[in-house]
């Protein structure tokens, strides 16, 4: 087999499936985290909005973004409190509220295309510790490096979409995908496989809790 044939054969291992996420309904286990990594025009915002509405419909949601007036957020105005940048004190306040009320509330902290929080301790605690205190998280961006290594290792669910840089693809393949891709493929072939798998608004859904990776795409009825 030549390289193209090996990649085409590997494509068959990842048929397109609908995106379905069943959240644990037990209160002590209900909090979870998502990272969505993809370039602009990849369907990242559409997927984020679907997760917000279907996975966290009843949570108290705070969305941190540097563009709160952007049209993409119009459908979320009634359901989310908006912050015009990354504000770590909000995360700390949510944690303290639950600490003093025996985890009475379910919070969801959403950070979308915001820079400057990579090394912030509150973000690291949100992804690593605060799940046990009823705080869920959705972190969206165009580069895997938006999270520090500790945060990347502790995200429950990672959705990887189309990326415009071969260097970025190589990073996500090494960090999240190589375990699930055929071992006989070279790194260059895995990068090419990633590009093909994430074409046409598809995402690779890595479930770190169950050690699985599937290829998903929202159906027409799921798009907000």
Q: Where are the domains of the chain?
A: 3-11+27-218
As a whole number, mean pLDDT of residues 32-54 equals 94
As a whole number, mean pLDDT of residues 205-212 equals 95
The full length of the chain comes to: 224
Domain 3-11+27-218, what fold?
Answer: Rossmann fold (3.40.50)
Q: How confident is the model at residue 30 (pLDDT cuts 50, 70, 90)?
A: confident
Angle at the Cα of 35 (from 29 to 171), degrees rounded to 5? Answer: 135
What are the residues whose beta carbons fall under 8 Å from the beta carbon of 86, sequence distance 6 or more? 64, 111, 114, 116, 117, 120, 123
Give the pLDDT of residue 223. 66
Contact in structure between 168 and 144 (CB atoms under 8 Å): yes
Judging by beta carbons within 10 Å of its beta carbon (0-12, 13-18, 19+), is residue 23 exposed, middle or buried? middle
Token representation of residue 169: 């693809």
Token representation of residue 132: 């046990």
Residues 126-138: tens digit of each pLDDT: 999 999 999 999 9
Task: Using a pLDDT cut of 90, give the percent of the chain over it.
Answer: 80
Residues 63-116: tens digit of each pLDDT: 999 999 899 999 999 999 999 999 999 999 999 999 999 999 999 999 998 887
47-66 core/surface letters (b: 16 or more CB in 10 A; e: else): bbbbbbeebbeebbbbbbbe
Contact in structure between 154 and 125 (CB atoms under 8 Å): no
pTM of the full predicted structure? 0.94
Does 118 have pLDDT greater than 90? no
Token representation of residue 114: 């915001």
Strand order in the sheet with 16-18: 16-18, 212-217, 203-207, 157-160, 33-37, 135-141, 107-112, 60-65, 80-83
C-alpha distance across the termini of the chain, in Å: 42
DSSP 12: T
């Amino acid at each position: 087999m030549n390289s193209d044939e090996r990649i085409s054969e590997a494509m068959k291992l990842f048929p397109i499936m609908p995106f379905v996420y069943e959240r644990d309904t037990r209160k002590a286990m209900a909090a979870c985290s998502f990272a969505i990594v993809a370039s602009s025009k990849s369907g990242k915002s559409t997927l984020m909005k679907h997760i917000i509405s279907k996975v966290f419909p009843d949570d108290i949601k705070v969305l941190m973004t540097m563009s709160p007036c952007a049209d993409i957020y119009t459908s979320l105005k009634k359901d989310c409190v908006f912050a015009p940048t990354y504000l770590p004190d909000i995360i700390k306040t949510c944690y303290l509220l639950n600490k003093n009320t025996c985890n009475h509330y379910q919070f969801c902290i959403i950070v979308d295309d915001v820079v400057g929080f990579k090394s912030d301790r509150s973000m690291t605690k949100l992804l690593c510790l605060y799940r046990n205190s009823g705080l869920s998280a959705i972190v969206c961006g165009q580069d895997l490096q938006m999270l520090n290594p500790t945060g990347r290792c502790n995200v429950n669910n990672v959705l990887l979409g189309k990326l415009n840089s071969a260097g970025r693809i190589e990073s996500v393949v090494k960090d999240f995908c190589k375990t699930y891709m055929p071992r006989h493929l070279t790194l260059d072939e895995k990068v090419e496989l990633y590009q093909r798998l994430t074409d046409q608004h598809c995402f690779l859904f890595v479930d770190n809790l169950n050690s699985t990776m599937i290829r998903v795409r929202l159906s027409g009825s799921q798009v907000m």
